[in-house]
Structures are given as structure tokens and as C-alpha cells.
Structure 1
Amino acid sequence: MLKPAYAAPHPLAGGKVQLTVSARAAIDTYVPIVLAYPAPAPSNQALKEGLLRAIAPYPHLLGRFALDGHGRRVLHLNNEGVLVIEADVPADMADVLAAGGMATDVAGFYPTVPEESVGPALLQVKLSRYRCGGLLLGVICHPHIADGHAASTFYGAWATAVREGKGFTVPSPFIDRAATAVPGSTPKPVFDHRSIEFKGGEGSATSQPHAVLPMDKIRNVKVHFPAEFIAELRSRVGARCSTFQCLLAHVWKKVTAARGLSPEEFTQVRVAVNCRGRANPPVPMDFFGNMVLWAFPRLQVRDVLGLSYGGVVGAIRDAAARVDEEYIQSYVDFGGVADANGEELAATSTFGTMLCPDIEVDSWLGFRFHQLDFGTGPPSAFLPPGLPVEGLMVFVPSRTVKGSVDLFMALAEDHVAAFKKICYSLD
């Protein structure tokens, strides 16, 4: 177990803090990433020393989940440290990557995901050193501690600490969690968050109850979207839009068609929204924690398929725009009422399910892989783990051609052939 030796106790040392109210809506499992670094890769010692320097201002990553007197999960800032596993592999990394494990069989490249979240290290690292000198860096981190924005900021700080050496001082992030969620003097939730972000409400944020699909019936699909294809998509939207928006509109159309859904059926997308700049007052962008809520663009199948690209992008934008300061404050007030009642909230986000007719999207498009240069160059590949939810997809900037995007998506095996046949069609 790796942990920094503080010259003086961290101001938050030993305390127990509540999870951010946003974190309670996140899925309760560790999120893995795997990055490939060809030889000459940074040494394990350099990576560990840099990790110690980088993590010192991040006491939450060094703590452990615990339970309070009401049985609710809290974070104990006990400086128990980060788990680092080192492995020597008697093979060449290029041969391992070429063997076909890029999208579905990378579980051995990162630490085993704990079955229980209370107790284990919240950040765990596996350094797999290959005979050729290459390195596979596998990391798992719990989203109740950090959303994608916060996690990527920390990984970038780690890379800089290794690259710059012992003289580099890692900037301290904003970690005042109390400032991110201040209920009103009389908390008054305006929206039905119990039905949207959590289980147990009379309504539902989903088009229909989600079925369970055996894991052996889920197939992971990879699609490469060249920069030229993305440019053509943008031109068809007919208005300024992001790469994420136009690609999401396109994939939503094609997945809906491949599933053969009834025209009258409703389908929706669960889209993560970074609420730092949307809250009132705004939360600093360097806030380390989970500050994500969800938007749910929802249309009938006939509209997803029949509307122009601009129309579908508009539906996505409108849904995201509804996650505004009023909605965020309503959500904070809802959390305040739940706390006052000693209530444990169960998120609607689960895995091992079939989202059809819906989809859920995560995006790494805002992340720049050059930020993960530990001193010998950025990673040569991003290896996503097998996605355990049918309908879950991830957009990743391509490492092969600038401006291109790779889509990793889990689909029911019965829909894969149809999706692959039409995924590049713009009709």
C-alpha cells in the first residue's frame, strides 16, 4: 500500500465526510481504464514516486468508504493509501495487444474490482511490465470519489509529477465539498428526483423497466469514425455543434434502427452533465469530487429515425440545457431532505442490464492524451474494459488519426450485425 508521509497532518486527516449529493446518483462500482506505453516506458519507481507527490493534495483518494450511525456511506479520510500492484509479463506488449484483447478481455490488465466498496482502496493501480520494456498502466477508481473530469485532472497531475521530477509541486485542487451543495434555508425540491436519479419513486426516468441480459449475450463493438466522416456529420446538422453532439445523434439513430423498435416506442439517452459551471454560485472547475448529473433526451422512435440530424442534436441540447441552476438546486435540496430524514438513496444506474430501447453515453472526448505523458511520450493506446451494460457506449479520441473518434459500445448479440451494416450510413 502506497501512502505519502505528510510533514504535518493534512487539515482533513482522520475526519469523515459525506459523499457529494451528485455522487449518490453514480453507479456503485469502480471504473477501470488501461493505457499502453511502448518502450522505453517510465520505470515503476518513477511512477510510484510521482504518484506519492501527486496524491498528497488529494486526501479523498487516500481514504476509505465507511458507514455512519444510520448505515449510510461516508468517506473516512484515514490516509490508508493507494494499492499498487506490480507484475512482470514474459511477453512482448505488442503481441499481447495484437491477440485481440483490445475491447473485451482486459480484466487482467487492471486490479480486480472489489465486490464490496466499503473497505478497499478507492484508487488502485496495476503496473504490468513487459519483456520488451513496454508498460500497461491499469487504474480503477470509484466514481463516488471522483467523476470523469476530476479523475482525468488527477491523472494529468500524476503524469506531470513524474515528468517534472522531485522539484515539481502539485497544485492543490478545490476540495471544499460543503461549498458544492448548500440546501436552501427551507429545502424545496422542485423536480421528482426520486424517480429520475434514484430508485423508489412512483414515476420513472426510463422508457420502460430494463430487462436483465446474460453477459454472454452482450457483445462489445468498436467503430472508428474518421475526421472526414465527423466533418460530414457536422455539415448535416446545419448549425454549430460539438463532435460529441453530432456523433451521439448519429449513433442514436443507427442503434435505434438496428434494434428494429416499434415507431411508437420511446427511446432516451442518459447523458452525463458536468454541473460545476452550471451551479449558482459556480463551483471551481478544479473541484475534486463528483459533480455530475444526468440529462435524458427522449424521443419516439419515429422521430429519432425521421428527424434531421439537426433535429436530434436539438433534442440532445434541450435536455442538457434543462440541467440548469434551478434543477441543480432542486437536486441539492432533495439531498438535504433525504439527509435530514436519515435516508439512504439507491441510484437508478445499475449494470448487468439491457437498456434497450435506451442508451447511455460516456465521453472522454474532452480529455487530451498528451496530458498523460509520464516523460517518455503519451500512451499509444487506450484499452476500454468490457462494457457490462447493453446499450452503454463510450466515445474516445482516436490515438491513430488526429480528429478521429473511436466508439466502444455494448449491444445485444442479435443487434450487432445490423448495427455494423449501417453505422457509416448517412441516409
Structure 2
Amino acid sequence: MPDNAALREGLARALAYFPHLAGRFHSYEYGYPKVVLNDAGIRLKEAIAPSTLEEHLPFGPTASFLTLHPHPAEGVEVLLQVQLTRFSCGGLTLGLTSHHRIGDSSSICHFLFTWAKLVQGRDVGTLPFFGWSSVCAPRNPARVEFDHLGAEFRPKSGATRPRGNLEANLSKMCNQSFHFSKEFIAKLKGRVNGGDPSRRVSTFVSVLTHIWKKTTLARTLPDDELTQVRLVVNGRQRIKPPVPPEYYGNLVLWAYPKLTAGEVLRASYSHVAQVIREAIEKVDDGYFRSFMAFGEQLMGKGGAEIAVTLPEVGGFLNPDIMISSWLSLQFHELDFGGGVPPPFSRQGSPVEGLMILVPSCGEDGGVDVYLALEKSHAATMSQVMHTVD
């Protein structure tokens, strides 16, 4: 495993290729944020633990795990924070937090692999692509064809769910992690494809179908209550012509499959999966171009009067869920010179109903699920998550 000096040097060199991470947000007319590439730097924290790394494995959403991760409140203006924790055995954990507005998961994954290559003395390979103006140019003439003021944005004056006391809300949540083996995922795919192995189904849709069913069950929602999934759609594969995978920035929007709780619970896996696929297919090139045109229309005072629809810290999404998939990313193959990481995990979620899917480091083809639910529902979730009705 490389020492901290080598990691620091590689980090500094990697930032030269990803200057946005070392920049700062500034506001210009009407309060719009912009990133100033001023090389103001990131926040790097180095810590020493008297225990061995093995004593902390496997990682779970616990208080001790959170100490291995930089706390966002410690560097509010900084867009990237990194914590290196060295253990008595020589083992190392790398904790990272970044501002999603300047880089989505694909971009941060590219940055981490560039850093790892530089630490090993290897060529950086593919450089990030910063062609924002060419990728995000609206159609001419620009056309807004969808209701973005309601999907991605809301009026600032609009009603929002009362959040209440932040600490009290967080105390009502329980962070959980679940492992889906390769065999279990094959069983889910069998339910989705109706037992027809010639019908190709994705791991993501199969796992999401199952999670949506089990979350609805654990929450004991009334049959007639509408529940929806807010899921991330990567524009790199949806925009035409396709955007290079090395595009740096935030190029994701959301799809919103909807069903009543009764439909989620009693419909077949195949039907629920089809509803999810149809919602994803709607977020196509036309939808992204419409969103870009909507952004052009907001230039000026009007844009300052809206806010994004993302949940706030301490918020509850029930009866809905929000899910992000990192299954196509290769975090579990990240190697700084000491081998691939035994575990790859994420910090506990501060939003009820928020879920993340990551490839399992311990099993090829396995998936790890991280989620937060109300404590009153978490116990049921533990009992039903690995059951297939």
C-alpha cells in the first residue's frame, strides 16, 4: 500500500486534470451559482487509528464507520473532501465526499481512477471531456416539451413537506445494508423474465423491482396509495449522438415510475419491471433537450424563483423511494497499488427512502444495497428483504 506522501502527490497531480474539484462556487446575477476555477484547493484530512483495519470489517452504517469519512460540515465551501485513515496494521481507508452539482458519480469515478493511476506511476489514460457547451446545447429553435417545473424543479414559494427538528428526524431513521448474492439475483431475474431465459433483463431493474416491492410491504402502505420511484438516468447513453463516457460534469436526470401500493405488491415482477423500464425509456434525447431548453428559458430573474426537487437532509420520502445505481461504475476495482479494496461502502444516508446499489467487492456479480428507512419499518425490511414471493 502506498504511503500518504505518494497519495498526496498523486492527488495533487490528479486535480490538475479535474480543476473543478479545486474550485469554488460563486454567485452572479439573481443568485445563480457558477464554479470559479481558482485552484482554491480541496480539504485533505489524515488520521491515524490505533486499531487494525480487520477490527472494523465488515463495514456497516455505524457510528465508528462515520469517523472514517470526512464530515461535510467541516468544509462547507470546499467542493471535494478526502480523508485518509491509516491503521496500526498498515491498512488504509479512503473516505470521500464531493458536491454533486459539479460532478456526478461517473465523473468522480473517473477522477478516482486517474488519481490511482498517478499514484502507481502509470499513464492517466483517457482525459476528462469538458465540452459542456456542445453537449448541453438546446435545439434550435429551443422547445420545452415536458413539465420540468414539477419533475426536476418546484416554485420556491410552493409548499414543501415540513421537516421538523433535524436531530429528531434523523433519530427516527435506521440505515441498513443488504447483500444480494449472484444466485439470489439470478432468482430475481427469473421472476422478471417470467421464467424465459431468452428474455434479457438487467440486474438493476430486477433488483429495483424487488426493493420496491419489499419497501412497500415494510411500510404497510394502503392499497390505494400512490408510490413512485425517483431513479437516476445517465444522459451519456441517452443523448444523441452519445456523449463520451469521460464527459465531466453532472449529466443525470430522473425517471419516475408510479404505481399504487396494491399494484406494487400484487402485480408480477414482470409487470412492475415493465413499468420501470417504460419510465426510463421516456427520459430520452428529446427529454434531455427539452430540459436544456427549459434551462435557457430560466436565464434571468425567473430562474431565481425556483428550487430543485431533491429531498433535504432529515427528510422522509415515504411513500416514495429514491434510488441511485453505481452498478455500471468500477469503484470495486479501484487500485492505488495495494490491490483492490476488500469493501467499498458509502456513508449512512440522512434521507429516509434513499437507496444506493453498488457492486459487491466480495463477490463477482453480487450487489450491495444501502438504504435508510424509518426505524418502525426497518425491522420488517430485515425480515422480508431476502424473501421472494
With the length of structure 1 as denominator, give the TM-score of the two structures. 0.84
Q: Does 1:104 align with 2:65?
A: no
Q: Distance in 1 between matches of 2:319 and 2:5?
A: 48
1:160 alignment counterpart: 117
8 Å Cα contact 2:156/2:307 also seen in 1: no
Aligned-pair CA distance for 1:68:
0.9
1:269 is paired with a residue whose SS is strand
Q: Distance in 1 between matches of 2:216 and 2:154?
A: 26
Q: Does 1:142 align with 2:104?
A: no
Deviations 1:291-337 (A, max 9, x none): 00000000111111111111111011000000011111110011001
Q: Which amino acid aligns with 1:52?
A: A
Aligned-pair CA distance for 1:169:
4.2
Aligned length: 378
2:61 is paired with a residue whose SS is coil
- Which range is displaced more, 366-375 or 390-399? 366-375
8 Å Cα contact 1:53/1:169 also seen in 2: no
8 Å Cα contact 2:174/2:378 also seen in 1: yes
Aligned-pair CA distance for 1:140:
1.0
Deviations 1:138-174 (A, max 9, x none): 11111001101111111111111212x1x63453211
2:32 alignment counterpart: 72
Higher relative contact order (CA 8 A, sep 6+): 1
2:307 is paired with a residue whose SS is coil
8 Å Cα contact 1:50/1:158 also seen in 2: yes
Q: Does 1:46 align with 2:6?
A: yes
Q: Which amino acid aligns with 1:357?
A: P
2:196 alignment counterpart: none
Aligned-pair CA distance for 1:183:
2.5
Q: Distance in 2 between matches of 1:272 and 1:242?
A: 15
Q: Which amino acid aligns with 2:73?
A: P
List alignment gaps of at least 5 residues for structure 2.
194-198
List alignment gaps of at least 5 residues for structure 1.
1-40
Q: Distance in 2 between matches of 1:332 and 1:42?
A: 44
Of 350, 366, 370, which residue of structure 2 is paired with 1:404? 366
Aligned-pair CA distance for 1:73:
0.7
Of 271, 280, 284, which residue of structure 2 is paired with 1:324? 284
Q: Distance in 2 between matches of 1:115 and 1:265?
A: 40
Aligned-pair CA distance for 1:96:
3.3
Aligned-pair CA distance for 1:54:
2.0
1:128 is paired with a residue whose SS is strand
8 Å Cα contact 2:69/2:347 also seen in 1: no
Q: Distance in 2 between matches of 1:395 and 1:215?
A: 22
Q: Does 1:266 align with 2:226?
A: yes
Alignment CA distance shift 1:115-1:72 (3 Å): farther
Alignment CA distance shift 1:87-1:381 (3 Å): same
8 Å Cα contact 1:161/1:170 also seen in 2: no
Q: Which amino acid aligns with 2:62?
A: T
1:373 alignment counterpart: 335
Q: Which amino acid aligns with 1:383?
A: S
Of 84, 109, 118, which residue of structure 1 is paired with 2:44? 84
1:113 alignment counterpart: 72
Q: Does 1:250 align with 2:250?
A: no
- Which range is displaced more, 121-130 or 362-371? 362-371
Q: Distance in 1 between matches of 2:185 and 2:236?
A: 28
Q: Distance in 2 between matches of 1:107 and 1:201?
A: 33
2:108 alignment counterpart: 151
Q: Distance in 2 between matches of 1:376 and 1:312?
A: 43
Q: Distance in 2 between matches of 1:200 and 1:115?
A: 30
Deviations 1:192-249 (A, max 9, x none): 1111101218999xxx958667111100112111111110111111131111110100
- Percent identity among equivalent residues? 40
Of 150, 154, 160, which residue of structure 2 is paired with 1:199? 154
Of 158, 172, 187, which residue of structure 1 is paired with 2:142? 187
Of 60, 77, 88, which residue of structure 2 is paired with 1:131? 88
1:348 alignment counterpart: 309
8 Å Cα contact 1:211/1:355 also seen in 2: no
Q: Which amino acid aligns with 2:308?
A: A
8 Å Cα contact 2:17/2:127 also seen in 1: yes
Deviations 1:117-139 (A, max 9, x none): 5xx22111111111111111111
Of 179, 182, 185, which residue of structure 2 is paired with 1:224? 179
The alignment's C-alpha RMSD in Å is: 2.1
Which stretches of structure 1, 4 residues or longer, exceed 6 Å deviation after superposition? 201-204
Aligned-pair CA distance for 1:116:
7.8
8 Å Cα contact 1:195/1:203 also seen in 2: no
Aligned-pair CA distance for 1:53:
2.4
Deviations 1:397-416 (A, max 9, x none): 22222211111110111111
